[in-house]
Amino acid sequence: MLLAAYRERSGLTLSELARRTKMKKTALSRLENHGEDVRLSTISRYVQATGKPLSLTIIPLPLGKRRSGGRVDSKIELVPA
């Protein structure tokens, strides 16, 4: 589930979420639209501000689909709890 839809289902505007998280609206918009390599603490802050539970599942990619340079990629699924 995309974070923007999660926020909207929580009944929050981007402005209200920015106020609650003490983050800039532009940073939240970037997170919702292009959230790659996001810190877990940022997602936790986002979820805490909504007051709604969210399940996070991290699925490792097969070895052949990992990037070079030692970086481990994975698929992350966000689902309302």
Q: What is the pLDDT of residues 11-55, one digit of tens each?
A: 999 999 999 999 999 999 999 988 777 888 999 999 999 999 989
pTM: predicted TM-score of the whole model, two decimal places: 0.72
Q: Domain 3-80 class?
A: mainly alpha
Q: Where are the beta strands (DSSP E) in 1-81?
A: 54-60, 74-80
pLDDT for the residue numbered 25: 95
CA atoms within a 13 Å half-sphere pointing along the CA-CB vector of 81:
9
| Distance of alpha carbon 36 from alpha carbon 74, whole angstroms | 11
Q: How does residue 1 score in pLDDT terms, banded at 50, 70 and 90?
A: very low
